[in-house]
Amino acid sequence: MAPARRHSDINSVAGTSERISRVPKPKVTIMDHPMVMEQLTLARDASTNQVAFRKAIYRLGRYMAYEFLRTLPTEGVRVKTPMGSAKGRRVRGNDKIVIVLVLRAAIPFVEGMYKNLPMARTGVISAWRGKAPKFEIEVGYSKVPVIHKEDVVIVADPMLATGHTLLEVARRIVKQGKPGRLAFFSVISTWEGIQYVAQGFPNAEFYTCAIDPRLDDHGYIVPGLGDAGDRAFGAPE
């Protein structure tokens, strides 16, 4: 895969420069490889059924984790081939990854991530957002492993909309210890949401496949893909 693009021109998106100038530039990487775009397009399409939607989110998790591996350090090793000796490289820190999944939409996303980060320890948090305009967050189940200073924590939530949920989730996570790196993985984000989280965690890294232009009055991303949990698992009655 071609390298993911570090977004260096954050202020150029129409209508966002005023909001964004209030806090330092967040570290945003847009993963826009053609294979990512293909799965994202499938996920966005309202005619994609539940099974195909979950598969698309699963694949996006897999591809994003694959690209993320570029950011981990590697070490030189020497191996014996059947014909001689060769220099090689190994990823270091594979075993220092902690993935925290935000129920429920992140389930297929994280399933995909495990394909490339199989040694990750895992935390689970169920959090949901109250109604606009306050978007108060309620947290139910929360189990996060102890976090060490050399850990890389990835918070997985397919939709980074207002940022209220992820800010609260991150606050819970750091109660378990301060990681070396904190990264948010989302399929679709908004600048507004990224800014909101970055105000609390200015050193956090954001990895996303797309940044959409706006939120509706209920805090849904437009055009987005709808309610990711409902699309993956069915809407509750």
Sole window of 47-55, 94-102, 169-177, 219-227 interacting with ligand URA (rule: CB under 6 A):
219-227
Restricting to residues 140-199, which ones interact with ligand URA according to CB under 6 A? 159, 161
Instruction: Tell which one of 136, 138, 150, 227 touches ligand URA (CB under 6 A).
Output: 227
Minimum distance from CB of 162 to ligand URA (Å)? 8
Does position 60 bind ligand URA by CB under 6 A?
Answer: no
Q: Candidates 25-33, 116-124, 202-210, 221-229 — which segment interacts with ligand URA by CB under 6 A?
A: 221-229
C-alpha–C-alpha distance, residues 106 and 186, integer Å: 9
Q: What are phi and psi of 34, to 5 degrees?
A: -55, -35
Closer residue to ligand URA (CB): 151 or 212: 212
Alpha helices in 17-49, H assignment, sequence order:
17-20, 34-44
Beta bridge partners of 186: 208
**CA 86/CA 112 separation, integer angstroms:** 32
- The answer to the question of residue 127 lying near ligand URA (CB under 6 A) is no
Give the containing element (helix H, strand E) for 212. Answer: strand 205-212
Of 152, 79, 142, the C-alpha closest to 113 is 152
Q: Does 108 bind ligand URA (CB under 6 A)?
A: no
Options 85-93, 96-104, 116-124, 218-226: segment touching ligand URA (CB under 6 A): 218-226
Strands of 31-164, DSSP E:
74-81, 84-91, 97-103, 121-129, 137-143, 152-156, 159-160
Note whether 105 binds ligand URA by CB under 6 A.
Answer: yes
Q: Which residues bind ligand URA (CB under 6 A)?
A: 105, 159, 161, 220-221, 224, 227-229
